[in-house]
Amino acid sequence: MGCCSNNGGNSGPFAEGKELVDFVSQAHGGSLRNQSIPSGSLEAVCQGCGANFTLATFVGTCSACGGVHAVSPPRSGDVGNIQFAGKGYQLSDG
């Protein structure tokens, strides 16, 4: 299956919260997380601290608190689909 297949339930690109962040950051051997969002950057509000930030890649961090957020490719056209990994979450190096 590709990175953007729906396996049903709350897995893959339709997961929420930390599960979605984990999925997107690991998709395609980790290469997806640093790719620019094709439809353009999303202006968002950090779900951890409430600060405004720009999500330019599929996985990014809030510049104010470092909170990790992600959006999956099939859902990247809507800022409402950005998911937050939770306070204290740290991205792995790969």
- Reported as a single tens digit per residue, the pLDDT across 26-54 is 999 999 999 999 999 999 999 999 999 99
Burial class (CB in 10 A: 0-12, 13-18, 19+), 47: middle
Residue 8, pLDDT > 90, answer: no
- What does the pLDDT read at residue 42? 97
Percent of the chain scoring above 90 in pLDDT: 84
- In the chain, where the domains are located: 12-84
- Nearest-angstrom CA–CA distance, 5 and 68: 23
Q: Which of 39, 38, 68 is nearest to 53 (CA)?
A: 68
